[in-house]
Amino acid sequence: MDFTLTDDQVALQEGVRKLCEGRFPMERVRALADAGGVDRDLWRELADAGVFSLRLAEADGGAGLGTAEGALVFEELGRALVPGPLVWTHLAAGLVPGAAEGERVVGGLQRQEEPFLVEYPDAIDVLLAVDDDGVWEVDRSRLSARPVSWPLDPLTPAHVAGGLLRGERRGVPGDAARWRLEGAVLTGAYLLGMAAALTDMSVTYAKERQQFDKPIGSFQAIKHILADMFVRTEVARAAVYAAAVNLDEPALGPPGRAVAGAKLLAGEAATLNGKAATQVHGGMGFTWEVDVHLYLKRAWVLDTTFGTADDHADAVAGLLGS
């Protein structure tokens, strides 16, 4: 047992962080709102860096890495708030041609979601639906779709859609079951990165912002909010990393409980930290100009995907005492 990152994992983490800092500074992320959330050139750069293919076998053009490495990569994408259907395209790599290479942008949804909110409708080439029977490529010509003029998260544009969600089969029931677990962990990792970024930006602000002739971070009322943000993030980190390792190592037993706990705690860390960050930033936290709202809104969006907090708490309860 050694629950620390290996040197290779640290290098991967640093590499993706550098890529995000260079290619996805906040002004560029914000600008993507006008491009449907995805810029094709940047998307291909993510693909070249292995974001979508890293878990494919080397023979299939991947890096042969595990969910643990996937989680580290998605944590960094979340820290930088990189928009787009990253998790879906990553899951689709190997099943949908062009996904791994960044040639086709793949979006998706869970079949039980009604009404169907299709994310990134103008950016995606392929829409997948996952249900108990498998993974389906939706024939979008058979959907009725109405654009959302005012999305909650400006970086998650959406259509309200209706109609038939099945089309050509892309995966068997086993794929669907695996996708739900992997999608929950990778989304959890993305939320974890967001929670950490929210803590960092709030700590920085609390050291700079002066009131009553002192930095506000010197007041315990603020200091304790920040301490709780940090603690929540670290507890979520332990949960997300453990769930990822559990998916990679069958000898650790069924991963369901660890995965549910990870998505639950990471989602809470991001949403609670988003609200705390708004409070610490005071009036500025309520402005469009400060980035906090973009994180909070994305956290709320992601809390609805790959299982809600309530779904996952119920799932853990269902596995207790058994």
**Of the two residues 246 and 278, which places its CB atom closer to other proteins in the complex?**
246
Task: Record the tokens describing residue 163, joined without a space.
Answer: 């109609």
**Which H/E stretch holds residue 116?**
strand 116-119
Measured CA to CA, the distance from residue 15 to residue 5 in angstroms comes to: 14
Shortest Å distance, C-beta 266 to other proteins: 10
Could you give the angle at the alpha carbon of 236 between the alpha carbons of 270 and 220, nearest 5°? 70
Span interacting with other proteins, options 43-51, 84-92, 122-130, 254-262, rule CB under 8 A: 254-262
Contact 53, 95 (CB under 8 A): no
Smallest distance, Å, CB 90 to other proteins? Answer: 19
H/E run at residue 192: helix 173-208
Interface of this chain with other proteins, residues 21 to 40, rule: CB under 8 A:
none
Q: Which of 187, 189, 186, 99 is nearest to 135 (CA)?
A: 99
Considering only the stretches 16-24, 79-87, 247-255, 288-296, report the one whose residues sit in contact with other proteins under the rule CB under 8 A. Answer: 247-255
Taking CB under 8 A as the criterion, the residue among 150, 251, 283, 288 binding other proteins is 251
Q: Are 103 and 137 in contact (CB under 8 A)?
A: no
Decide if residue 134 touches other proteins (CB under 8 A): no
List of residues 6+ apart from 270 with CB closer than 8 A = 78, 191, 192, 194, 195, 198, 295, 298, 299, 302, 303
For other proteins, the closer CB: 125 or 200: 200
Whose Cβ is closer to other proteins: residue 37's or residue 217's? 217
- How many residues in the shown chain lie near other proteins by CB under 8 A? 55
CA 277 vs CA 17, 141, 177, 212, 288: distances in Å: 22, 42, 35, 20, 14
Distance between CA atoms of 170 and 85, rounded to whole angstroms? 18
Pick from 50, 261, 285, 307 the residue near other proteins by CB under 8 A.
261
Nearer to other proteins, 45 or 234 (CB): 234
Tell me how far, at minimum, the Cβ of 109 lies from other proteins, in Å.
24
Yes or no: say if 102 and 43 are a contact pair by the CB < 8 Å rule.
Answer: yes
- 320 sits near other proteins (criterion: CB under 8 A): yes
- Cα separations in angstroms, 137 against 30, 105, 120, 156, 163: 30, 13, 16, 21, 14
Point out which span in 44-52, 164-172, 182-190, 314-322 binds other proteins (CB under 8 A).
314-322
Verify binding: residue 260, other proteins, rule CB under 8 A. yes
Q: Does position 4 bind other proteins by CB under 8 A?
A: yes
DSSP string computed for 40-75: HHHHHHHHHTTTTTTTS-GGGTS----HHHHHHHHH
Contact 190, 87 (CB under 8 A): yes
Task: Check binding of 51 to other proteins (CB under 8 A).
Answer: no
| Residues in 166-205 that interact with other proteins by CB under 8 A | 199, 203
The answer to the question of residue 316 lying near other proteins (CB under 8 A) is yes
Q: Applying CB under 8 A, does 218 fall inside the site for other proteins?
A: yes
- Minimum Å gap between C-beta 249 and other proteins is 6
Q: Which stretch binds other proteins (CB under 8 A): 5-13, 121-129, 162-170, 273-281?
A: 5-13
For other proteins, the binding residues (CB under 8 A) are 1-6, 9, 68, 199, 203, 206-207, 214-215, 217-218, 220, 223-224, 226-228, 230-231, 234-239, 241-242, 244-246, 249, 251-252, 257-258, 260-262, 264-265, 310, 312-318, 320-321
